[in-house]
Amino acid sequence: MGSQALPQELIRAKRDGRALGREAIQQLVAGISDGSLSDAQVGALAMAVFLRGMDGQETVTLTEAIRDSGEVLDWSDLDLPGPVLDKHSTGGVGDLVSLVLGPWIASCGGHVPMVSGRGLGHTGGTLDKLEAIPGYSVTPDTATFRRLVKEVGVAIIGQTADLAPADRRLYAVRDVTATVESLPLIISSILGKKLACGLDALVMDVKTGSGAFMPTHDASLELAQSIANVATQAGTPTTALVTDMSQPLAPCAGNALEVREALRLLTGEKRHGRLLRVTRDLAAELLLAGRLVDSLDAAETRLDEALASGAVAERFARMVAGLGGPGDLLERPDHHLREAPVIRAVHATQPGRVQAMDTRALGLAVVALGGGRCAPGEAIDPAVGLSRLASLGEAVDTERPLALVHATSAADAERAAHQVREAITVGDGPSTPPPLVHDVIRREAP
């Protein structure tokens, strides 16, 4: 090993609460990537970090080492006329922001190489939503990916084997060693993958509320601040928003249902709602961070004009066709997107107003219907899910249901209906929904 320290000595240093230097962290991450660190050593390192934490500089170094463990995308040879931009979300229910935000940014002069993930637990995955579109390939060759990022301005694909390979192994070990919830490991995992995409700026959507990954608002805010700091110190200016997930973001959850909702927004059939407002706020921050505009007002004007002109829908259609999907998805969604055979309204046991929602439970109801995975690699039914979901504060009665359940069988629909009633609290009193955007954290590159 030459002058390198023994891995167990580096693990011992972290176990004893000492800060690890740049070379030590780079050596450990290289060992995770090339297999010279055993699973036992990777697990011990993850537990040492989980229990002892990392300071800000260690977290930046870990993030950079994971970013650099594989290919770092370089767009300089394409002579792109605008900045390379992206967003990442900590995940939620009815959160199809990426499907709208990617083409929206592209229509305003940005280039969005969005490398997305699959559903995790109760949260839906962008790739699973896109695979509800027949023919859409989330694993194009590199030439196709680069061409679409240049010509269309957006391509949403899955993680390749070459991007941040250290993260893939570290994440798998964290998953089975009870070390997922460590802030430095969460931050370096999220950012290692994102920053390997060669971005000029990033916007981060950190959720808070009953459907969020972080348990409290304070924890969400801490994650948002830490991500903005670490990414910016690693050379990618990053803005983080803490947004509300105390109810599903869209009035639906389920892969084909969410694609339909995206199409309604893109084509202007629907011009309001929480999803549109949060997406517009995130997109405005990204245009500002990418220096495509000089103020938020200018960003919002540009976004509104692009949406009204049909340019955003056109970018989405070109991306779908370019990745193998149908060329007429916008015109004939019913022809291409599957519908569940059983659609059933779920009514509250008594009329009233929606007081609270267990958003996580609603997400798990969609998983139980077959719209998510209980184990990696399981097939997903794109047609199932929930639609016409009532909102916090909304009146529900015999006319207005809590939701429509889309299921493959009457028994599945019955079980989901029970889960929906359990997850949504209805009462007599008034109910004020929380704000959509709780906090905005902006960081300028050093």
For the annotated catalytic residues, the residue numbers are 86-89, 126, 174, 189, 193-194
Cβ atoms of residues 149 and 19 within 8 Å? no
Cβ atoms of residues 69 and 169 within 8 Å? no
What b/e readout covers 98-124, taking b as 16+ CB neighbours within 10 angstroms?
Answer: bbbbbbbbbbbbbbbbbbbbbbeebbb
Closest CA to 245 of 223, 275, 284: 275
- Residue with the two structure tokens 């066709």: 321
Cβ atoms of residues 443 and 288 within 8 Å? no
- Residues with Cβ within 8 Å of residue 95, at least 6 apart in sequence: 89, 123, 124, 207, 245, 248, 249, 250, 275
What b/e readout covers 227-264, taking b as 16+ CB neighbours within 10 angstroms?
Answer: bbbbbbbbebbbbbbbbbbbbbbbbbbbbbbbbbbbbb
Closest CA to 36 of 3, 9, 1, 71: 1
Pairing of strands 154-158, 385-387: unpaired
Pairing of strands 238-244, 201-208: parallel
Sheet harboring 395-396: ordered strands across? 395-396, 352-357, 424-427
The H-or-E segment that residue 169 falls in is helix 165-176
Strand partners, 241: 205, 440
The values of phi and psi at residue 390, to 5°, are -70, 155
The length of the chain in residues reads: 446
Alpha carbon distance 102, 439 (integer Å): 22
Helix (H, G, I), strand (E, B) or coil at 154: strand
Alpha carbon distance 311, 95 (integer Å): 22
Angle (deg, nearest 10), helices 56-67 and 22-34: 40
Alpha carbon distance 426, 409 (integer Å): 27
